Chains A and B, each alone.
Chain A
Amino acid sequence: MPSLLELQRQMQAQLWRPAGLDGVDGVDGLDGLHGARASLAPGASLELALRIGIYRNTCIGTLVNALRLSFPAVRRLVGADFFEAAARSFIEQSVPRSAYLDEYGADFPAFLAAFPPAATLVYLSDVAQLEWAVSRVLHADDAAGVSLAQLSALGEAAWPAMSFVPHPALSLLQSQHPADLIWRAVLEQDEAAMASIDPAPGTVYLLIERDTSGLAVRRLAAAAWHFTSALCAGRPLYAALGDVPDEQNHAILAEHLARGRFIQFRLNDPPSAACEAPHSPERPAAHSPGRSPEHLPGDAPL
């Protein structure tokens, strides 16, 4: 008699056998399910295989459906049948670790990039990557953004060493194809727009976030994107400015703050110090707010 764990492992093997994903293999494939097969009350081995097939269909169907929901543009680009076949192939090699299926599919874009039948659709993986970022943004937690007023209260001396925590519903993506244009045209079923897209490779820099209309996918200039990336990675402001010197940076930071894209800030030690200072938003201002130094937002237009 198998232990519960042995039985569950055997069932897993039966449900997840690559050769078995397309249907019932018959009796031979069930040798692994020793306990259940040997002790199954009425019914032949074929009956067992068919009944396991019911569970297999539901398991596969649940996961294919999760991928359908997360990658609707990809599905439209390749068609329902191709998508189902690609999804089934993906499921064989990438199993969900959790029942929260909105988290399932992070590796699907990389899978598509290496999936030979999709090789001619060179932009497909990039579109999938964008869709995954969209999905994560849509399902991320809500959070309140830090305001310019909160930061101004700390005084200009604190600014260079400040670092930020990005809103959970904010995502940055580089794409080697115009994935945003393709994504939008496909979902809006805009054939004219689709036809006018130049699919030639060239990097686009995208920012994905929730806004009042639901979801926004915006293009940024390369410098703006790299500066924003550095800030979202927690680089102190002086370091991000040093990484990506650009005269637009102060305006970019002002816009990020106005749109609530950062939810927390930390005060690090200035460049010359050895360790990081603890964060304290209530620390009194070292200088009164007033003159805005060159690289810091003051009353910059939103």
Chain B
Amino acid sequence: MSPAGTARGEDSLIPAAAGIGLRFAHHAEVVETRPAVAWFEVHAENYFGGGSVRRYLHAVRRDYPLSLHGVGLSLGSAEPLDCRHLSRLAELVRAVEPGLISEHLSWSVVGGQYLGDLLPLPLTQEALAVVCRHVDQTQALLKRRILVENPSTYLQFGHSTIPEWEFMAAVAARTGCGILCDVNNIFVSASNHGWDPIVYLDGLPRQAVAEIHLAGHALVTLDNGSVLRIDNHGSPVAREVWALYEEALRRFGAQPTLIEWDTDIAPLAVLLAEAARAAACLERVRETAHAFAA
């Protein structure tokens, strides 16, 4: 099923430029100083309520294109989606008219309990059917295409039958949703599970990719000596992830690129510097494209 068309007007479209994840700590500074950044993305659930938080969002939306990124819809839950959550999301979408709406390939709700993290899915035909059903339902309710983000995972299931990149491609093909390609998550998951990140990129359908995420991660040593990469969004983007980003741009062209930083939040100036670096990569891709076209 293909959903209806996307943005409602030029102002709300997200440009193929660098954006920043907007956190509460930066609300006032963004509204007061109006930094030179192309767009912002927020976590949808943070704005389900009213009051000053919602007012800040409207103030930002007045001056910038906005993307809504959900963490709690739980597309991979075996049980039905939470209707109240969906209607809150729909209300927020109506209120701010975001240029993009995204969620995760993961689950976080079972038995009416929200577990507080993005949990790993077994990559099976059953899970594929569940995720597609929930993406269809969400797109039908919102009358919008959504993007589904590839996860970072610390656990695989031996009974998985579908490589994650093929799973992502299948969800996009069956539902018409877009793909939010989180390059840091690809790097983290590939490192944790022994995948080749280039194979992952090559497995994503170019025409479905509509946004890219970049973030920092940490190396963690477990009690038994194993080393894992943890997607903690608490540091600058790693060198290897910048390199993988260039590979992604080569395959997908210039795409809206978001700098995420959610823990140990850095000053706005630091995020702007990361965004500027992404913008430089995007500019090089555009120059290369023009050179070929000339």
Q: Using CB atoms, name the residue of chain A closest to B70.
A: A99
A157 on interface, CB distance cutoff 8 Å: no
Q: With A59-B115, A97-B113, A98-B85 known to touch, is A141 a contact of B50 (CB < 8 Å)?
A: yes
Q: Is A93 an interface residue (CB 8 A)?
A: no
Contact of B226 among A50, A137, A139 (CB under 8 A): A50
Of A5, A48, A60, which one neighbours B79 at CB under 8 angstroms?
A: A5
Task: Identify the stretch in A38-46, A172-180, A279-287 within 8 Å (CB) of chain B at 4 or more residues.
Answer: A38-46
Separation of A62 and B232 alpha carbons in the complex (Å): 12
In this complex, which of A38, A51, A210 has the most chain B Cβ atoms within 10 angstroms of its Cβ? A51
Counting chain A residues whose Cβ lies within 8 A of the other chain, the interface size class is: 35 or more
Q: How far is the CA of A36 from the CA of B154 in the complex (A)?
A: 13
Residues on A with beta carbons closer than 8 Å to the beta carbon of B33: none
Secondary structure class of chain A's binding surface, majority of residues: helix
- A35 to chain B: which residues have CB within 8 Å? 157, 159
B13-21, B103-111, B205-213: which one contacts chain A? B103-111
Is there contact, CB below 8 Å, between B51 and A63?
no
Report A175 CB to chain B, min CB distance, Å: 23
Q: Is the pair A36, B157 in contact by a Cβ cutoff of 8 Å?
A: yes
| Known A-B contacts A7-B122, A12-B115; A55 and B49 likewise in contact (beta carbons under 8 Å) | no
* Cβ of B283 to closest chain A Cβ, rounded Å: 36
**Contact A99 to B119, CB < 8 A, known contacts A12-B113, A47-B224:** no
Residue pair B158, A97 in contact (C-beta under 8 Å): no
A168 at the interface (CB under 8 A from B): yes
User: Which of B49, B116, B220 sits near A139, CB closer than 8 Å?
Assistant: B49
- Least CB distance, B244 to chain A, in whole angstroms: 22
Is A19 at the interface (CB under 8 A from chain B)? Answer: no
For the complex formed, measure the closest distance between the CB of B292 and the CB atoms of chain A, giving whole angstroms: 42
B53 at interface by CB-CB < 8 Å: yes
The residues of B with any CB-CB pair to A shorter than 8 Å are: 45, 48-55, 71-74, 76-79, 82, 84-85, 88, 107-117, 119, 121-122, 124, 126-127, 130, 154-159, 220, 222-224, 226, 228, 230
New A-B contacts (13) at CB < 8 Å, excluding given A7-B122, A9-B110, A40-B158:
A4-B78, A4-B124, A4-B126, A12-B110, A47-B224, A48-B155, A99-B109, A100-B45, A100-B88, A101-B45, A139-B53, A140-B50, A169-B51
- The 7 A-B pairs of least Cβ separation, nearest first, read A99-B72, A39-B158, A139-B49, A141-B50, A5-B78, A62-B116, A59-B116
